[in-house]
């Protein structure tokens, strides 16, 4: 008779399992880091320098959150790699939570496979490896979904961590807050018509995290500059969108001459494009006082145009949303010479200058982001459409959990397009930063659907053959 094998202690099994899961997380994070590592430096954008300037020089910059600037400052050594690593690791953590709450946790191969898919078929690694707060649009959306519908499946530290992601993300970019508010409103509306959803919905922590995000910005400005105030610039961005749509010109034509409107005397010199008006040292923008000094006049024209042309504004808002949904080229403006960001980094972190200028992004010829877009754009468009189709199909099949998940992600994509298209202007960067969530959601949907299908087939065979 063979001797009985000694039982493996449960603690040893748990330790081994935790080691495998940690290794899978490290591999997944490495996959998302890969493009930045190959580049030789985290990716930069025009706005990166503004965030750094706000934090290091203790100033409030229009449209540049001090909160994200402080994050860059904390992770500036060595070479801003801690920031890129943190952003990629947060992606892996939240993707792991999504797998777990959909009964797919504890399978390291799935996490690695999903991250590999996202790395090679979406813009995610360029977003997570970039020194910009754009990654929080997708992370904040996923975090919000988990807190709204899966609080019971989360440990308390996990729920608080997700709330922190929403708060920091919202404080880092106002669009993340606006998207969260729209998604919470949509969740509340859905719950109002479905008693089962109403019993499941948890609002207090998502609302608390949104409130924390609102307060975090002026608090950071107070600590960094001594001024308790929000980041300026929002009014100017809305004004820029109305300018490009021709609403500003129409309003001035209908209301000038008016001595109380400075722009009346300058109608013939106002740039047609929002970027030219706001960023290219526009004499007109400077004449009305810029972001802060011109806020009163710009707000007056915005409100006046909404009251004067409500239907036209609604039509243009819908058009902007639809345009934003399909504007998602990878690397929008990232091949440009980002002089402002170079100059600020040279001053505030001179030790990173050599690596920055040696990076592939700063070389000639520049990185051909169009090459990546040839794959990323059709994948993102197809996934954005298919996740909406999946929501409808799941509802028809009676798969309530998958209906809720796919519907939530569809709402997230629509909210991002509406907020960015209406309150700024459609830009490839805005939808590219979040389109990857549709691919991740479809991956989970497909695996979950496949598992349910196989389980149903096994049940039918058992019933048939006993």
pLDDT of 20 reads 87
Count of all residues that appear for the chain in the document: 466
Question: Which of residues 449 and 393 earns the better pLDDT score?
Answer: 393
Contact 60, 355 (CB under 8 A): no
Question: Which of residues 448 and 443 earns the better pLDDT score?
Answer: 443
Stretch 3-14: mean pLDDT, rounded? 62
pLDDT of 2 reads 47
Percent of the chain at pLDDT above 90?
A: 81
Question: Which of residues 148 and 293 earns the better pLDDT score?
Answer: 148
Stretch 2-13: mean pLDDT, rounded? 60
Question: Which of residues 143 and 449 earns the better pLDDT score?
Answer: 143
Contact 416, 434 (CB under 8 A): yes
pLDDT of 281 reads 66
Question: Which of residues 441 and 276 earns the better pLDDT score?
Answer: 441
Using pLDDT thresholds of 50, 70 and 90, give the confidence band for residue 7. low
For residue 252, pLDDT over 90 is answered with: yes
* Residue 228 DSSP class: -
pLDDT of 14 reads 66
CA separation for the pair 407, 216 (Å, rounded) = 30
Using pLDDT thresholds of 50, 70 and 90, give the confidence band for residue 465. low
* Residue 64 DSSP class: B
The 10 Å Cβ neighbour count of residue 220 is 23
CA separation for the pair 55, 72 (Å, rounded) = 8
Residue 330, sorted as left (phi over 0), alpha (psi -120 to 50) or beta, turns out to be beta
Stretch 44-66: mean pLDDT, rounded? 96
Q: Mapping DSSP to helix (H, G, I), strand (E, B) and coil, where does residue 98 land?
A: helix
Stretch 73-80: mean pLDDT, rounded? 97
Which residues face 61 on adjacent strands? 64
For residue 9, pLDDT over 70 is answered with: no
Mean pLDDT of the chain: 93
Using pLDDT thresholds of 50, 70 and 90, give the confidence band for residue 449. confident
pLDDT for 103-142, tens place per residue? 998 889 999 999 999 999 999 999 999 999 999 999 999 9
| Predicted model pTM | 0.93
Question: Which of residues 9 and 448 earns the better pLDDT score?
Answer: 448
Show the tokens assigned to 429.
């960067």
Contact 84, 152 (CB under 8 A): no
CA separation for the pair 426, 241 (Å, rounded) = 9
pLDDT of 17 reads 78
For residue 97, pLDDT over 50 is answered with: yes
Contact 316, 243 (CB under 8 A): no
pLDDT for 258-292, tens place per residue? 999 999 988 888 988 888 888 876 788 988 999 98
For residue 1, pLDDT over 70 is answered with: no
pLDDT for 361-402, tens place per residue? 999 998 999 999 999 999 999 999 999 999 999 999 888 999
Question: Which of residues 466 and 126 earns the better pLDDT score?
Answer: 126
pLDDT for 144-183, tens place per residue? 999 999 999 999 999 999 999 999 999 999 999 999 999 9
Residue 36, sorted as left (phi over 0), alpha (psi -120 to 50) or beta, turns out to be alpha
Q: Mapping DSSP to helix (H, G, I), strand (E, B) and coil, where does residue 164 land?
A: helix
């Amino acid at each position: 008779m063979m001797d009985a094998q000694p039982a493996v202690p449960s603690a040893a099994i748990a330790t081994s399992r935790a080691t495998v899961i940690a290794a899978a997380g490290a591999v997944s994070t490495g996959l998302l880091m890969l493009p930045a590592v190959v580049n030789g430096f985290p990716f930069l954008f025009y706005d990166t320098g503004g965030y750094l300037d706000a934090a290091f020089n203790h100033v409030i910059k229009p449209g540049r959150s001090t909160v994200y600037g402080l994050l860059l400052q904390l992770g500036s050594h060595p070479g801003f790699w801690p920031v890129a690593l943190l952003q990629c690791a947060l992606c892996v953590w939240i993707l792991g939570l999504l797998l777990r709450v959909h009964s797919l946790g504890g399978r390291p191969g799935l996490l690695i496979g999903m991250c590999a898919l996202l790395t090679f078929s979406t813009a995610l690694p360029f977003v997570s490896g970039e020194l910009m707060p754009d990654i929080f649009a997708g992370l904040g959306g996923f975090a919000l979904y988990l807190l709204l519908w899966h609080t019971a499946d989360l440990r308390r530290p996990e729920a608080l961590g997700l709330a922190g992601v929403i708060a920091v993300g919202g404080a880092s970019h106002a669009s993340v807050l606006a998207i969260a508010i729209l998604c919470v409103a949509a969740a509340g509306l859905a719950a109002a018509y479905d008693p089962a959803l109403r019993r499941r919905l948890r609002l207090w922590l998502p609302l608390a995290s949104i409130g924390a995000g609102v307060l975090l910005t002026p608090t950071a400005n107070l600590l960094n500059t001594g001024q308790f105030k929000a980041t300026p610039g929002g009014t100017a961005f809305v004004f820029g969108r109305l300018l490009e749509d021709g609403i500003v010109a129409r309003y001035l034509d209908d209301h000038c001459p008016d001595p109380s409107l400075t722009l009346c005397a300058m109608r013939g010199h106002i740039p047609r494009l929002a970027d030219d008006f706001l960023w290219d040292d526009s004499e007109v923008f400077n004449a009305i006082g810029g972001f802060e000094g011109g806020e009163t006049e710009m707000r007056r024209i915005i409100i006046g145009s909404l009251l004067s042309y409500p239907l036209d504004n609604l039509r243009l808002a819908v058009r902007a949303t639809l345009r934003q949904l399909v504007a998602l080229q990878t690397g929008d403006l990232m091949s440009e010479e980002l002089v402002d960001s170079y100059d600020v980094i040279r001053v505030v972190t001179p030790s990173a200058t050599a690596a920055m200028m040696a990076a592939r992004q700063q070389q000639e010829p520049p990185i051909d982001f169009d090459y990546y877009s040839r794959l990323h754009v059709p994948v993102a468009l197809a996934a954005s459409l298919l996740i909406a189709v999946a929501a409808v199909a799941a509802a028809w099949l009676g798969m309530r959990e998958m209906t809720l998940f796919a519907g939530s992600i569809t709402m997230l994509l629509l909210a991002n397009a509406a907020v960015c298209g209406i309150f700024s202007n459609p830009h490839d960067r805005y939808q590219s930063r979040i389109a990857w969530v549709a691919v991740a959601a479809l991956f989970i949907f497909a695996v979950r659907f496949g598992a349910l299908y196989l389980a149903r087939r096994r049940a039918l065979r058992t019933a048939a053959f006993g």
